Each structure stands twice: as C-alpha cells, then as structure tokens.
A and B are shown apart, each in its own frame.
Chain A
Amino acid sequence: AQKVTQAQTEISVVEKEDVTLDCVYETRDTTYYLFWYKQPPSGELVFLIRRNSFDEQNEISGRYSWNFQKSTSSFNFTITASQVVDSAVYFCALSERYNNNDMRFGAGTRLTVKP
C-alpha cells in the first residue's frame, strides 16, 4: 500500500525566509499522483498542486515551487520569501492509478511564519 512521510512535524521561520517542506512517498505502482494541500486555521484543505509520476519537471507558481525526484521518491515544496499568511499545516498526499479513491495523506507539517 502507498505511504507518505512528512518527517518535519513543525517548522518556524521568520518572514521573508525561504522554507522547504519535505515529502517522501512509497508506492509499488508505476503510475501515481502526488498532491500538496494547505490547511489554514479555518480548517479547509486548499488544493495547491497535483503532479503525475510521468512528469518530473519542477513547477513554480509565484512564491511556491515543487521539486519532484523519482530517484529519491520525494516531492518537496519550497516557499520563497515566506509571509505570515503562509502559516498553516501543509499536507502531501499520494494516490495510485488503480486505487485513486484512496488518497493517502502524510501527517502534515505545521509551518509558522513569524513577522
């Protein structure tokens, strides 16, 4: 079965610092999908990105960037020039091609950005 590990439980940075959130996954499937979600204090999980296993290109969206490396089974997320509004819990998730109803989430990383 698939598994997602977010080893960083909590991270605290000062505003304008860059921060990287780590995500390591395990799957036996050759086709799979990786996701990042943001959960602010309001509780809603906000979708950030989806990446399929055939697309290893890194992606940048404003201050957010994602580094997908199949060789290390990692899908890390970097926030550049962090802001207080980035404070939230961030979840990495994985679903497999033929089991896409069962999306497995990591335990989450709580990011606190201090002014």
Chain B
Amino acid sequence: ETGVTQTPRHLVMGMTNKKSLKCEQHLGHNAMYWYKQSAKKPLELMFVYSLEERVENNSVPSRFSPECPNSSHLFLHLHTLQPEDSALYLCASSQLTGTSASDTQYFGPGTRLTVL
C-alpha cells in the first residue's frame, strides 16, 4: 500500500447507527486531517492531529468523534448522524517540520457517506 488509504470507500447508514471511518497513511508523516466535502461547498477542515494530539477542531458537532491511536492511523467515529451529514469525507496527511513552512497535504480517495 502506498500513499493514503481510506476504508470503506462507500457507506450507507441510518441515523441511529454507529460506524467508523478509517484512514491509514504510508508516507511516514506526523500529521493527519479529516475534511468534509459536501455538494456545492468548499472543502471544510474538521480535525487536525499533530503527533497524535488533536490540535484543531473546527466546531464540529459531537456526533463526529475522531481518534488517532498512532501517527499512521486516523479514525472518525460516527453516531446519530443527520441526512445533511451525507458527504465525501477525505483524510489527508502531511509532515510538519516544526518550522513555519507550510507542508503539503496528501489526500486519500475519500469515503462517500450517505445518511438515510
């Protein structure tokens, strides 16, 4: 496996279900990100983990719960979602060097989520 992988690629769930999205990066990076891409809206940053610690949470509802057990894996746990949460969820990783340089983010293929 190379780059950033995400599973599942497609997910359909009811509003009362609990599911998890998984992301794995094979690039040796130390930062990982979750983005939400809805139809006709720009990509929205949801969560950022740097060195396995959450550094940013852009006012995301608590029904989305991230988990980063190590620098290579990132999960997004979902529960009691709403139909408006249907979107493409993208994971990305980058190597933060500790300087002020901005680091390129590399993306996975995304999970297409449909909430019924």
By a beta-carbon cutoff of 8 Å, the part of chain A in contact with chain B is 31-33, 35, 37, 42-47, 50, 52, 91, 95-98, 100-108
Contacts and interface: CB of A to CB of B under 8 A. Distances in A.
Interface string B41-55: 111010010100001
A37 B100 contact: no
Contacts of A106: 42
Contacts of A42: 109
A52 B104 CA distance: 11
Interface residues of B, number: 27
Nearest to B56: A101
24 contacts: A31-B100, A32-B102, A33-B101, A33-B102, A35-B104, A37-B107, A43-B88, A43-B110, A44-B107, A45-B107, A46-B107, A47-B106, A52-B101, A52-B102, A95-B102, A96-B102, A100-B96, A100-B100, A101-B33, A101-B50, A102-B45, A103-B105, A104-B42, A107-B42
B112 interface: yes
Given A42-B109, A43-B110, A43-B112, A105 B42 contact: yes
A37 B33 CA distance: 16
Nearest to B33: A101
Nearest to A33: B102
Given A101-B55, A101-B56, A44 B109 contact: yes
A102 B101 CA distance: 13
Between A32, A95, A101, A102, the greatest number of chain B beta carbons within 10 A of the residue's beta carbon is seen for: A101
A78 B112 CA distance: 30
